[in-house]
Structure 1
Amino acid sequence: MTTEVLTSKKKIRILIADDHPLFRRGLKNAFSETPDIEIIAEADNGNDVLDKIRDQELSLVILDISMPGKDGLEVVKQIKTEYPKLPILIMSVYPENQYAVRFIKAGAAGYLTKESALDTLLHAVRKVSQGGKFASPEITERLAFDFLETNKPLHETLSDREYQVFLMIARGKSLTEIANELSLSVKTISTHRSRILEKMKMKKNAELIHYAINYSLI
């Protein structure tokens, strides 16, 4: 069955993708009294998201950015390649300033944190499902003026994977822990670390941590 975006006159049919069952249950409970919104599928890893999308008619995907298997950015890019009209709303524990711009540039239609109020979530779901965009004024401004910036911060020179590894290093995780979490080899993570240090003109993890704190990235 081909995935398609349903019109606003029909129910908003949602797939929730998050590896925490309690969070998925909480969302289902939150939407249970909204007659225009229906949770029709759930996924707990990146590969499962893509499989479920192919079998459903969806209005919207609500996606966490950290799940087993394919990471959030990979999932967003693949969804937008296969189903360019299917909106994606990111819900994450991470603050907007860490990931929102990257995910919206990758094709997500909106970004909000898991601490957002229910009214904010409902507004975002309805707006994004109808083809709109949802982000805070700060993120919207950053996106609008990004093309004018000539002296971007060093962390914005990193690739998506490098940025992900950089933040994990800045949070104090070891290379082994990062490798296990991302299902990559320690050698691959070590290579990413070397490239990160080179691009950011640094020599030690302590410098990365200090930089991340200064830019409020952790």
Structure 2
Amino acid sequence: MIIKTFLADDHRLFRDGLRRILAETADIVVVGEAIDGLDALKKMRLGGWDVALLDVSMPGMSGLEVLKRIMDEDPKHRVLMLSTYHEDEYAIRAIRAGTSAYLTKNSPTDLLISVIRRLAHGGRYIDPKLAEKLLFGLGPSSTMPRHSTLSNREFDVLKLIAVGISLTEISQKLKLSAKTISTYRARVLEKMGMQNNAQLIRYVAEHKLLE
């Protein structure tokens, strides 16, 4: 069985590296690529792929939003989310949105290939440590943190505010208008029950969301 993969990442060097890795296998081929979220969603809707590899954070529409939309349209899709982020929050959001697997970009090559094959045959993959946290962190006695109410893009904005990036810089990084970023910030403050950036920064630090 030849496994047809689709790659979506805004970093060309990373896509090139992935393509070279997959080219060394006898059963995995790349049939399509995308450079941002909107491009990915448009091309993925055309079909013709077995497993899609999506970057969690892409400009315009995030990989998490692409995942949510594509899974809403067909829950049988097999999607592997890739991220530079090590924190569990992104993995949990991806799992809730329907991803079949989640790996960090520095995962071993043999694990990446193994997971792609597993997904192509109908399986899933979740890191054992993350599975344990999900099992014990989502029980009846657990309380959900305030940031769990944020949308994926609102969560992105929260983290960027926390590292001291201005709204203008955030808009450039995410390729969204400054007005849109201001709206996201207002929603974050409202949902979190906070008044200013200082409170957001303190919350992020206390909950170790940047680690």
Same-fold call, TM > 0.5?
yes
Cα distance change, pair 191–47 in 1 and its aligned pair in 2 (3 A)? closer
Q: Counterparts of 2:57 and 2:193 in 1: how far apart (Å)?
A: 28
Consecutive unaligned residues of structure 1, counting only runs of 5 or more, are 1-9
Find the counterpart in structure 2 of residue 99 from structure 1. Answer: 90
* Match status 1:121 vs 2:134: no
Residue 38 in 1 paired to residue 51 in 2?
Answer: no
Alignment correspondent of 1:88: 79
Distance 1:208 1:14, change over 3 A: same
Instruction: Return 5+ residue gaps in structure 2 as ranges.
Output: none
Q: CA RMSD in A?
A: 2.0
Percentage of identical aligned residues: 46
Shift of 1:33: 1.9
Checking the alignment, whether the CA contact within 8 Å between 1:18 and 1:43 is kept in structure 2 is yes
The residue aligned with 2:154 is 162
1:48-63 map, 5 Å: 48-63=39-54
Which one of 175, 179, 184 corresponds to residue 176 of structure 2? 184
Shift of 1:175: 1.1
Partner of 1:75: 66
CA distance in 2, matches of 1:96, 1:12: 30
Q: 1:181 to 1:129 in 2, by over 3 A?
A: same
Structure 1 residues 136 and 121 mapped into 2: Cα distance closer, same or farther (>3 Å)? same
Structure 2 residue aligned with 1:205, among 185, 197, 201? 197
1:14-43 CA distance string (max 9 Å, x none): 001111111111111111221121112111
Deviations 1:136-188 (A, max 9, x none): 12322343342525422221122333212111111221111222333433233
Residue identity matched to 2:196: K
- What SS does the corresponding residue of 1:148 show, helix, strand or coil? coil
**1:179 partner letter:** S
Cα deviation for residue 120 of structure 1 reads 1.6
Q: Which residue of 1 aligns with 2:55?
A: 64
Aligned to 1:24: 15
Q: TM-score, normalised by structure 1?
A: 0.86
Which residue does the alignment assign to 2:206? 214
Give the aligned partner of residue 140 of structure 1: 131
Match for residue 111 of structure 1?
102
- Quick one: distance in 2 between partners of 1:28 and 1:148? 43
